[in-house]
Amino acid sequence: MTNSTDRRVTANLTLSLDGRYHGPGGADDFSAFAPYVTTEVARNHLTRIWPDATTALLGRVNAEGFLGYWPSVATDENADPRDHGYAKWLVDAEKVVFSTTLAEAPWEHTRVVNAPAVDVVADLRTTGDGDILVNSCPSVIKPLLAADLLDRLYLMIFPEILGGGQRLFDDGLPSSKWKLAHQETGDLGEIAMAYDRVR
């Protein structure tokens, strides 16, 4: 049996009221999310996900999307301080990008892996310190949920039923119990929550 450190594995994702992480138009359909992701509650939520994390896990698609946005925020002294803090952390943190197509790392402090998320996380837990944050990447979060490897879920729920699109919580997941560690509700009805796995 592999020895494990005390590193927590955390995950962050924004969902609709019916549990979807994109709309019925496909993987790029985020139009319904737009009003909620820059609210005070969303920005406060952002400040909670990263301070304890030293490693960010990303899929190729969100890594490339983040690369096109966050580095400029990290150098923008006029950015919202919460966005600026997160951006600087993301640029400087160790990043692991899951991809079967990338030949080289798209970012500094980044390595590309073509391996199952469960195996990569198990390996990361045996070395280093700090949380391992799966950052808005359902393709990585889902197998970790299925293997019961997540210790904390950071969820932003916005009050719209999309009626289509992929869901985070698929049928067939192992049963698990979670404890509410934080909750904040915004003026638009959005709710930021942190749940800790009860083991």
Q: Where are the domains of the chain?
A: 51-132+139-163
Mean pLDDT over the full length of the chain: 93
pLDDT above 90: residue 5 = no
Q: What is the mean pLDDT of residues 138-163?
A: 96
Q: Please report, as a single letter, which amino acid is at residue 187.
A: D
Q: Is the pLDDT of residue 152 over 80?
A: yes
pLDDT at 4 over 80: no
Distance (Å, rounded) from C-alpha 114 to C-alpha 107?
16
The string of pLDDT tens digits covering residues 35-91 is 999 999 999 999 999 999 999 999 988 888 888 899 999 999 999 999 999 999 999
Nearest to 130 by CA among 19, 7, 45: 7
Give the model's pLDDT for residue 107: 84
What's the rounded Cα separation, in Å, for the pair 136 and 129? 21
Topology adopted by domain 51-132+139-163: Dihydrofolate Reductase, subunit A (3.40.430)
Q: Is the pTM of this model over 0.85?
A: yes
Nearest C-alpha neighbor of 30 from the set 133, 106, 136: 136
Joined together, the tokens standing for residue 158 give: 């916005």
Q: What is the pLDDT of residues 92-143, one digit of tens each?
A: 999 999 999 988 887 889 999 999 999 999 999 998 899 999 999 999 999 9
pLDDT in tens, 9-19: 999 999 999 99
3-state secondary structure 61-85: HHHHHHHCCHHHHHCCCCCCHHHHH
